[in-house]
Amino acid sequence: MDQRGPSEWTRRLLVHGTADAVGRCRDFARRALTDWQWLPEAGSGSAYGNAGDDETAETASDVLLLVSEVVANACMHAGGPNSLVLHYTAERLRIEVTDPSPVVPVYRLPTDPARPGGHGLLIVKRLALAWGADPVDGGKCVWVEIATPPALRERRETLPGRPDRSRSPA
């Protein structure tokens, strides 16, 4: 649900125990980005975000990749995600994925760059402003922050509040 204060919006999806967590989280993030005008409305014919610039579209693609990577890591290494939270301010978008494992991810260079796997945190490190993990309720919250595209920083506050049509029961 959109929880909107004077300078921030938040979307939350509970995903514990659901099938295709990566796909569901990515679709959830895509709907939020569309509502927040990082991506065009379905059927609009625009290849770019409603702000109309390449940087917004590229940043939106990066957000979807980051969501996929962090959720996939929770699936592969932590028993699956419990929730996904998107927290949007004029300066940044924060992606938070909680899972039941207290083991904090550690970035290491892949030992064999030609082998598949082991590149998720490299992608996160390269695309994010910042990332980290914090302990929560016997597990952890892995978070990633990405800068709000310049074209959206001033326009964000003028977007109409929309109900969150993408919330799904756990």
Q: Which pairing describes strands 139-147 and 130-136: parallel, antiparallel, or unpaired?
A: antiparallel
Task: Please check whether residue 132 lies inside any domain of the structure.
Answer: yes
Structural domain of residue 82, as residue ranges?
A: 6-158
Task: Please check whether residue 131 lies inside any domain of the structure.
Answer: yes
Task: Please check whether residue 163 lies inside any domain of the structure.
Answer: no
Number of domains in the chain: 1
Q: For the chain, what is the mean pLDDT? A: 81
Task: Please check whether residue 169 lies inside any domain of the structure.
Answer: no
Using one digit for the tens of pLDDT, what is the confidence trace for 5-39? 444 699 999 998 888 999 999 999 999 999 998 98
Task: Please check whether residue 56 lies inside any domain of the structure.
Answer: yes
Residues of the chain scoring pLDDT < 50: 1-2, 4-7, 46-51, 162-170
Task: Please check whether residue 118 lies inside any domain of the structure.
Answer: yes
Task: Please check whether residue 115 lies inside any domain of the structure.
Answer: yes
The predicted pLDDT at position 53 comes to: 74
The predicted pLDDT at position 170 comes to: 38
The predicted pLDDT at position 43 comes to: 53
Task: Please check whether residue 134 lies inside any domain of the structure.
Answer: yes
CATH number at residue 57: 3.30.565.10
